[in-house]
Structure 1
Amino acid sequence: METTNLHVVQTDEEKAYTLRALEARDVFLMSKIISTIGINEFKDVVQSDAIKNAISGKDVTDDVVTSVGVTVMLDFANVILGNLPKCEKDIYAFLSGLSGIDKKQIESMPMNAFMGMVIDVIQKEEFKDFIGVVSKLFK
């Protein structure tokens, strides 16, 4: 692993960062980021006509299920990408707190390393647990 001019270089064998475990203090910034991304907009995606028609049982084929799945994924991606710039600084702060890497260095990471870090956070067991607990509020 090399660090030059605030750019983090990582090889395929190693990551240029380690992430600490998520803790209670992370809930507040995570909640702010998730709210800014647009959790209410996800509700609109889930309640779309395409999903309602698919779960109604009328003419449901594998092709219909695949089509609805792709539509929902694209709608989710649209919501996330459309709102991501609103929480840019919060994401840098969150990742900095988890990794110990300065926010400016995170801003300057190569895109693949940055997205890898984001994916690593989302795949953390504590993150999944947090989402599971939060989702209980909507049942």
Structure 2
Amino acid sequence: MVQVTRTIHAPIDDVFAVLADGWSYASWVVGASHIRDVDDTWPAVGARIHHSVGPWPCTIQDTTSVSSVDAPHSIELDARAWPIGAAVVRVELRAIDSMSCEAVMFERAVRGPGRLIPDAIESLLLGPRNRESLSRLADLAQGGYRCAND
């Protein structure tokens, strides 16, 4: 399992607000290129984001669904990108103080060819990608991001 951590200088609720807005997914998840639809119940368990992954015109159309959520502390996703495979992605938020938190992202391939990649290579591939994803999440939260429903 790949794990990366970042301190975010924003309140935990502000960071979770970005995670709770499925329309923001392509803004912080490296590789997600377009959001086609978001279930009205996002981020409830079972809700899905319908997204495209990869550069145009070679995009893969698939979905990511919520496996578990404990707002504002964690969300676990089943992220699919067939035929590449699927991964479990978990983001945990831990308050440091009222104006900052620690974000920890875990990812592991669970289905498809991706799960055959050795752990060391998976870490080399996903570690930098996930560090950049947390950097983008931090930028949105620290920049005063407001969800479309505000």
TM-score (structure 2 length as normaliser): 0.29
Identify, as 1 or 2, the structure richer in helix.
Answer: 1
TM-score (structure 1 length as normaliser): 0.30
Which structure has more relative contact order (CA 8 Å, sep 6+)? It is 1
